[in-house]
Amino acid sequence: MGAVVEAVLRLSTFSERQILDLVSEGQLGELFPFRSKTQELPPDSVAEDDLVEASALPMSRSQKAALIQSSMPSSGARVGSDRLAAALAWQEEVLRSADEESHR
């Protein structure tokens, strides 16, 4: 794990342009020689037809919470329930504080 962290830290010193150049030249593997345990990785993009234009209006606290909740792993996933509960409680407190702050 330490080697992965070192490689990520080393890559973080490069600009986006430098990383894109390394990828296009096939040299990224020299700086980050690690692979996923599974060969198939989920797509990191969606079809353009699936995209929806975002509203210019700010989201309500409940909309923000629902959006964050929808991005969390399903309840069937093996996640530490205490950590998840603590993270959700913290998220709710941050959203409540931000909501209160915006009404001042």
Q: Kindly tell me if the per-residue pLDDT of 80 is higher than 60.
A: no
Give me the pLDDT at residue 66, please.
84
Find tokens 């690690």 and name the residue: 34
pLDDT per residue over 26-71, tens digit each?
888 887 777 766 666 566 666 777 777 777 788 888 888 888 887 7
- Using alpha carbons only, give the angle 84, 87, 90 rounded to the nearest 5 degrees: 150
Instruction: Yes or no: say if 41 and 50 are a contact pair by the CB < 8 Å rule.
Output: no
pLDDT per residue over 85-101, tens digit each?
777 777 777 777 766 66
Q: What is the pTM of this model?
A: 0.33
Q: Phi/psi zone of residue 17: left (φ > 0), alpha (ψ -120 to 50 degrees), beta?
A: alpha
